[in-house]
Structure 1
């Protein structure tokens, strides 16, 4: 089942109210039914997208000693260059967060990396705010509720990934295990190598590359706030065949000290019991960071939203 495609031209261009409302409704409905969708006319310049892809390839092609020099001055996140060793192979990443200027070294052999990452980071932050406002409107929340609730942009993260190819005998090997993103929304820019899949009604469905689109998926924070009205779809990545796979993932995040629980509008006010107990966002994030820092972490040590779920028999009492 192919995920919906939503055209944001009317939002970007501030078109007439009817077209704008149509885009808001299509986006919100996709979040309700799939938790995954594509967007077109999203505002990211083609030139910036192409430049970002090329520089990412150049960066990952550099020798390890150069890449390992790419570390931030100070951050609690596993930012900078990293490589995932373990059952999923040697995936590589470059993680940047605010302030990007806190990074002390980018390889001089790959010029303009800093400027390009800063530029795409800013564009994606603006896109995140726009999507957040669309969801706020679709859910009929008080004006600017979500943007005021989620007002700390210092925790946003951009990750560049490279998945190395597998041998023919290892076809269909998993390159990234199934998971839900913990944040509010994720924006994914793929290259033309397939591999991304999302779960729908117990089946794994490929999200094939489509030029000119960004993939958007709902994070666990939105699923909890909406009492599971909007779904953070589980997704995974299969290893590419015969070539590297490059992607950019931008995580529109939330502050770790924020208390997350189902909003009354989606629970008590409509006669439904909360499906999740409250938690601090950092509780969910810390377990995920442990996995990023140590890919060999046991699965049961990595919390996801299900950890905070209230059993059905309890909320039906």
Structure 2
């Protein structure tokens, strides 16, 4: 298949600039070379949360982002998930538009505000060099169902069914990890159990699959996703070896080096509010790399829609209130204001 046909039209480039991609996601013209140089991102061992609880608290207070190792997700599952995502994104652009309408939806460019409210970007409203799929885990069983009218392509039905099975398996693991981490965080913050039990709601969880197409003109400033913070409680990222994720700390941008066997967790806006600003909702962005596409899968989880978040720094609000305010700001201002709207004077 001609790789260019899988890109949204705006992202298509001269024929000689497209990388040759093998079925396993490698680049036959520019080989994938994982970066082994260490970066300062904290590492949290999920199997040692009870033994080293301070590591998690320090990571959330000082960084708002950390790597999780010994997370219990089979490495084969991570590999298959990334491989299947690459396979889906390699489908023709028109096929993706037709296939992914409900419950999974397809987007490209600047993601619009979705019902979950998680993909909001701050800043200018330029086109981001990204395409993706929104996957609400609560509705995943509907994906790939053949309505029996005989119009469905057998190969496409198989692809969707395989995606459904992979994401269901992965979603179970990510919900487990999120609950383990949040329980430890709630203990670290000494949250009131009466209130905090609804602060993380498994039914709100969803996945977003991203592809950042290679860009022949990428010069380090091509934006795959503009600087933003997530509206979630927690976001958990599985990424490939290409790199491009950056976080903002101490008035500088720091590159997060690829570590495909680990998961990246970042604190979202909701958790910052719950923590009375002790934890940091980290600002991050993605820069497009020139030689090849980047693929990632991110899990987002939120409070219950009507769970009231109580904080000494913010007036009481629900996630529903926050979501409505963000939608209004994006519509009227063109960007997300976020937690500042709920700050106490």
Give TM-score scaled by structure 1 length: 0.81
SS at the partner of 2:71? coil
The 3 A distance-change label for structure 1 pair 221 and 169 is: closer
Matches within 5 A, 1:167-206: 167-168=216-217, 170-206=219-255
1:235 corresponds to which of 284, 288, 294: 284
- What residue in structure 2 maps to residue 141 of structure 1? 191
- In the alignment, structure 1 residue 7 sits paired with structure 2 residue 50: no
- In the alignment, structure 1 residue 57 sits paired with structure 2 residue 97: no
- In the alignment, structure 1 residue 150 sits paired with structure 2 residue 209: no
| Partners of 1:133 and 1:144 within 8 A in 2 | no
1:25 corresponds to which of 50, 54, 71: 54
1:59-82 CA-to-partner distances (Å, cap 9, x unmatched) read 000112322222225xxxxx4222
- In the alignment, structure 1 residue 256 sits paired with structure 2 residue 302: no
Mark the runs of 5 or more structure 1 residues left unpaired by the alignment.
12-19, 74-78, 263-273
- What residue in structure 2 maps to residue 96 of structure 1? 135
| Partners of 2:42 and 2:59 within 8 A in 1 | yes
| Partners of 2:144 and 2:157 within 8 A in 1 | no
1:132-166 CA-to-partner distances (Å, cap 9, x unmatched) read 111122223355863x2236322111101001122
Give TM-score scaled by structure 2 length: 0.74
Which has the bigger relative contact order, CA under 8 A and spacing at least 6? 2
Cα distance in 1 for residues equivalent to 2:252 and 2:304: 33
Matches within 5 A, 1:78-97: 79-84=104-109, 87-97=126-136
Number of residues paired by the alignment? 281
Deviation of 1:176 (Å): 0.6
1:112-138 CA-to-partner distances (Å, cap 9, x unmatched) read 111001111111011111111111222
Cα distance in 1 for residues equivalent to 2:78 and 2:92: 24
| Partners of 2:144 and 2:158 within 8 A in 1 | no
Deviation of 1:178 (Å): 0.9
Cα distance in 2 for residues equivalent to 1:203 and 1:301: 22
Mark the runs of 5 or more structure 2 residues left unpaired by the alignment.
1-38, 111-124, 147-155
The 3 A distance-change label for structure 1 pair 215 and 184 is: same
1:243-279 CA-to-partner distances (Å, cap 9, x unmatched) read 11100110021222222231xxxxxxxxxxx322222
- In the alignment, structure 1 residue 247 sits paired with structure 2 residue 272: no
The 3 A distance-change label for structure 1 pair 247 and 151 is: closer
Could you say what the CA RMSD is over the residues aligned between the two structures, in angstroms? 2.5
Deviation of 1:309 (Å): 2.2
| Partners of 2:129 and 2:223 within 8 A in 1 | no
